[in-house]
Amino acid sequence: MSAVLPPASDASIAPEPQEPKGGPVRREAGTSVWGAAFSRMRRNPQAIAGAAIVLLFVLVAILAPILAPFSGTALPGRAEITPTHIPVPGELAQYPLGLDRFGGDVLSKLIWGAQASLLIGLISTALGLVGGMVLGLVAAGFGGWVDNVVMRVVDILLSVPNLLLAVSIAAVLGQTPAAVMIAIGASQVPIFARLLRSSMLQQRSADYVLAAQTLGLSRRTITMSHVLPNSLGPVVVQATLALATAVIDAAALSFLGLGGGRPETAEWGRMLTYAQNELAIAPHLAFLPGICIAITALGFTLFGESLREALDPRQRKA
């Protein structure tokens, strides 16, 4: 004989969830650290201004063959140059920004100079980043006497001013664009090395490292798969800021005559070099490339500082 179940009381029946009056509750999807950082940067006027400058600089450099009226070494206005007169901006319709002492179109040289600066900045920063990460990883990964030796070498390099170290290396390697890239990259290696080592040492005391050790993971696995990826944030930010330094250093080395190339070659630092003797009759030859260098460095600096602020909770404004 089957048992008759008692009727369920009202209290035993779970009430159906009621939808709030304002409609269904919206839940934010989880975002990564980088996703949250870029979301904050989209609301930061400083980051927007920096990103706009950097994007404009990159587009001009990439599209130089299309945007520039003449090639980087062309001298279309040689017939317009006299010992006492150089056409200034607005004087000749076909040369909106005037001519230089050699008869080159200043507008074209500024555009091609952006490409040269971008190439030198990217390659030199990449060289410094790779070299610094190798030293920082070795120092933080092995520790002990290896860490002491590597860091003492880094301290010696850091004791030399950045530009002076780059000038010394470029002078030894020779007056070529490749020497400039290597010199600037080598001068940035100790900065990246110390930054990565410091970040990795900080991450090694995190809870997730202790959990990984408890699970029996090897030190190599923990370092390469967990500590290193979580230590790259400050290094990426520094790489963005280093691009601004690289653009300025490249112009400085070219200004000092260490960049190689012919005098009429389009490069902002070289344009400043050959504008020194023409300041009395053609000051635009110095002002225009100087403004380009300053604005480009400002763009990378604004973007890098905004990225640092967005990634570092201690420096966020909101």
pLDDT in tens, 242-261: 998 898 888 888 888 887 66
**312 — pLDDT class (breaks 50, 70, 90):** low
Give the mean model confidence (pLDDT) for residues 137-146. Answer: 88
3-state secondary structure of 39: helix
pLDDT in tens, 11-34: 444 444 444 444 443 434 456 667
Percent of the chain with pLDDT over 70: 86
Q: Rounded to whole angstroms, how far apart are CA atoms 254 and 266?
A: 11
Of 183 and 3, the structure prediction assigns the larger pLDDT to 183
Q: Rounded to whole angstroms, how far apart are CA atoms 135 and 196?
A: 9
Write down all domains in the chain, each with its CATH number in brackets: 60-316 (1.10.3720.10)
- Report the run of H or E that residue 283 belongs to, with start and end: none
Tokens of 178: 């490749």
pLDDT in tens, 94-132: 999 988 888 889 999 999 999 988 898 899 999 999 999
Q: SS3 string of 198-234?
A: HHHHHHCCCHHHHHHHHCCCCHHHHHHHHHHHHCHHH
Predicted pLDDT at 202: 86
